[in-house]
A and B are shown apart, each in its own frame.
Chain A
Amino acid sequence: MAVAKPRSFQEIILRLQEYWAKHGCAIMQPYDMEVGAGTFHPATTLRALGNKSWAAAYVQPSRRPTDGRYGENPNRLQHYYQYQVIIKPSPPDLQELYLGSLEAIGVDMDMHDIRFVEDDWESPTLGAWGLGWEVWCDGMEVSQFTYFQQVGGHDCTPVSGELTYGLERLAMYVLGVDHVMDMPFNDPDATIPLKYRDVFEQTEQEYSRWNFDIADTDTLLQHFKDAEAECERILDAPHVDPKTGKSIIMAHPAYDQCIKASHLFNLLDARGVISVTERQAYIGRVRALAKMCADAFVQTDAGGAAAVVS
């Protein structure tokens, strides 16, 4: 029954893609913006809203500036990959499907201890929360498993089931690697075998330095304000586009600005210029944007709004 072990980081990604494609998910590509987690991808945040069925899976590069360790920590990175699966409505066998995905990437269920440990997920910046677990494999958190209850202040009906895999950590475990930088990125027998180190060590150093010490806080602050203003401006635009005569609510472009603001906040946080009290205020400002975007999205077709009779 045990599946052959994968040999590289990318093989694990490919197997997950294949598994979830086989189970009916649309395999999407990463969102082309800096985000802190796969949840921020509009394929999750926005698509969890409204009553339309949805199933998607994708890799999302994620940035956590405060987690930078100059590439020295065995598994902490300021840039890493998440694998994200979202299915709406959540199927009754989602736990089994999930366990199947672990088997597909070579986790031998007979030898490991898989546990679902309470971890209620909340994103104060997205105004979102859900109940679920962190999934432990031999004491290591390998995934986050969440039933979305609310996003952008809206109740999720039906409920989406969301799975988030921390790819590096999971892959290190499956591949038996102790330090992320030692992990084979492509096949070890490839003509040009590459390790994670060859791809990312230098960038971890560069970004750690920039995130913690160099990023210009005045500029970041200004960008934050700009993104906030632009988001509001986009949503203030009249729904009917004078050029085409159609109702075009620009939920996604507005949401891009929300994502931007969120990442800028994370950078400011890493620079240590946000005090505890200010922190709440910033999070509240991003949440207000997320909420406006959600309000806009549910008025659109993809958001499940009834077709407008013309």
Chain B
Amino acid sequence: MASESGRINMADLLLELFSEEIPARMQRKAGDDLKKLVTDALVDAGITYASAAAFSTPRRLTLTIDGLLKESPNTREERKGPRTDAPEKALDGFLRATGLNKDQLETRDDKKGQVYFAVIEKTGRPASDIIAEIVPNVIRNFPWPKSMRWGAGNLRWVRPLHSILCVLSDDDGNEVVSFDVDGIESSNLTAGHRFHAPQWFSVNNFENYRAELKKSYVILDPVERGEHIWEDAKNMAFAQGLELVEDAGLLAEVSGLVEWPVVLMGDIADDFKDLPPEVLITSMKEHQKFFSVKNPKKGRIEKFVTVANRETADQGATILAGNQKVLFARLSDAKFFWENDLRVSMDDMAAKLSNVTFHNKLGTQSERIERIAALAGELAPIVGADKDAAIKAAQIAKADLSSEMVYEFPELQGVMGRYYALAAGQGADIADACVEHYSPLGPNDDVPTSPVSVSVALADKIDTLTGFWAIDEKPTGSKDPFALRRAALGVIRLVLENDVRVNLGKIFEWGLIAHRSPRPNPKDEDDYTGLDKDMNLLSFFHDRLKVFLRDKGISHDIIDACLAMPNNDDFVLLVKRAEALQAFIKTDDGENLLQGFKRANNILTAEEKKDGVSYELDPDLKFAEDDAERELFAALDTAAKSIAPAIKSEDFAAAMQGMATLRTPIDAFFTAVQVNSENQMVRRNRLCLLNRIRNVMAQVADFTLIEG
């Protein structure tokens, strides 16, 4: 057994916590937690190990640890204490900290006199003793998201805990690590599948445990169960020319509901095949945890896949028939909702929302929709949408919130609206807006592009933002209960990705004014101009924009330099400028020009401060003494002539080009010319020349804000 000699001091641990059914969604994390808590505690106690793995089924959490030290090593620790003549209190504290008494301390000579020393020697302990302490502790303090008591006991677990298997094994044999948690004694016993193999049996080690479980109709590894389900389901669908609708979340959940997965495919009754596919998929998933099977040719959901937890003599025929019956009832309900909803006009659906409060300070859903419609109407010409279509779309986009289907399946909001709008004969653009006006929901969600959807999506989000701003419910720190940051990011993406040219400041003011009661005439400019001054909604947007652009590689100082320019509430313009500037600053010309600018600006600022004047007059070429100086005059004239029109036509690349021509003359100027000439006339003229540099460049961005 020479090859095994490396393992001579090693053992393997198998731990199984056997309980009543653990919620599927908690199993994976519980396995990870079990592994981490036990292995961390072992390592803390000096027991190292080679590898560990956790598994879960509905009824068990299992941990296997390989290559554990059989004993923790002996340790010796020396700690220096107080001087022997130190006050009593210091010594007491030291004794408490070390857990020793005074007689056990050593006295040693130190530079300043005699000092107490504690020598703490710990003899190694058997791993089994350490495990017997650790495991009960882990069980008692397990981080379940929700735990419970049962019977007359006080132990908490996710569901009643019935048995603990804890076996330490090596090449010579195995032993039960013996302990007790609130009356549950550890053992080497486990049970198989609840119905197929309920009898208890003993196991020796992990391999034996895993193999015996499989014979007892339990696949221990959830990943293996998932793969098994997926393969079988896919093949069954494929064999009939159909496609399984992928759903990783559902697969993980279903894997946590069975120990012995048996995949069954069944039919959806013809009565229901014409329900919208989203309704079928959602209803089957939410209520029955069925996978949907699609006919790719017809785009319809025609079958379902269910996963049973057992085999039967009739190959699952009874189980499938039962499932089908339940589905029939569920889909009858869905059909009932669908048909009832189709009988109600969307205007009537929308009218019902007058009874529904959106927020107690922001009125009913109907009032909200009215505001959104008004705003969507204003935005329509800006985004290139038909005004009447935008208003109509906004009026019905949320109507499905009062439909029976959405009451039952809230996640179908918008999707149902589209179907109901189409059924009512609305155009595709209006129907699409029902779904799309909620977008984008996340940073990776698609942004709508159809103008009607864009106008309603913008109006919806701006109404929400201005509303919560008006009642002073702004996000603070990590608290953002109304997802206002997400809404702002949505506005930013809608504007940028659709190239919407608009001064949002004005739109925010429209939005804010709509939350005033009584509502003033939105055409009365005086009433709302400057309304956002104290509200700072635009600066909130600027912060969101910085985060958004930082992810796109534009640094915060570049953004600041652009935010300082006029029309900074036109985000398309702002971003164009920032992108061009960022690109320019990265070039050699850009970097050097920035240095030149800084030098000019520093000198000018210092001299202006010293002299108490501003050097704002036009410099005069006739006072130029040096060639480099004269060349700078010429370069500035040329640059100014190209930059101004480029900025005006928003051709920022050309503007940057114009600026790049300044780099060499500015560098040459500083090399050849001493600004602070003895001749006051010459000096003033040169300072005014520096000011000219500043002015020409200020047309593009505020370079004083750029770092570097």
Could you list which residues of chain A lie within 8 angstroms of chain B, going by C-beta atoms? 69, 73-76, 89-92, 95, 109-118, 120, 130-133, 137-140, 147, 149, 157-159, 161, 173, 178, 275-277
Contacts and interface: CB of A to CB of B under 8 A. Distances in A.
Interface of B: 20-21, 23-25, 58, 146-152, 158-160, 162, 195, 257-258, 288-290, 306, 308-310, 312-314, 318-323, 325-329, 332-333, 336, 355-357, 360
Contacts, number: 117
B149 A112 contact: no
Contacts of B21: 115-118, 133
B257 A115 contact: yes
A138 B328 CA distance: 13
A91 B151 contact: yes
Given A73-B333, A138-B326, A159-B148, 5 more contacts: A92-B151, A118-B25, A131-B146, A147-B148, A276-B357
A174 to B, nearest CB: 11
A112 B313 CA distance: 10
Given A110-B313, A115-B257, A116-B20, A157 B195 contact: no
Contact of B313 (A92, A111, A149, A275): A111
Contacts of A92: 151, 160, 162
By DSSP majority rule, is chain A's interface helix, strand, loop, or mixed?
loop
- Count chain B CB atoms within 10 A of each CB in A89, A116, A173 and give the residue with the most: A116
A111 B195 CA distance: 10
Contact of A140 (B24, B147, B322): B322
23 contacts: A73-B333, A74-B328, A75-B329, A92-B151, A110-B312, A110-B313, A111-B312, A111-B319, A112-B318, A112-B322, A113-B310, A113-B312, A115-B21, A117-B257, A117-B289, A130-B148, A131-B147, A131-B159, A137-B322, A138-B325, A149-B148, A157-B149, A161-B150
A178 B325 contact: yes
Given A113-B309, A133-B21, A277-B360, A138 B322 contact: yes
Contacts of B151: 89-92, 158-159
Nearest to A109: B195
B330 to A, nearest CB: 9
B319 A113 contact: yes
A270 B405 CA distance: 16
B19 to A, nearest CB: 11
B147 to A, nearest CB: 8
Contacts of A140: 322-323, 325-326
B318 A118 contact: no
Contacts of A130: 148
A176 B308 CA distance: 20
B152 A158 contact: yes
A127 B326 CA distance: 31
A158 to B, nearest CB: 4
Contacts of B318: 111-112, 138
B325 A114 contact: no
A116 B57 CA distance: 13
The 3 A-B pairs of least Cβ separation, nearest first, read A138-B322, A118-B23, A116-B21
A109 B332 CA distance: 28
Nearest to B262: A113
Contacts of A277: 357, 360
Contacts of B333: 73, 76
A137 to B, nearest CB: 7
Nearest to A278: B357
Given A109-B195, A157-B149, A139 B313 contact: no
Contact of A149 (B24, B149, B332): B149
Contact of A275 (B20, B327, B356): B356
Nearest to B195: A109
A85 B309 CA distance: 26
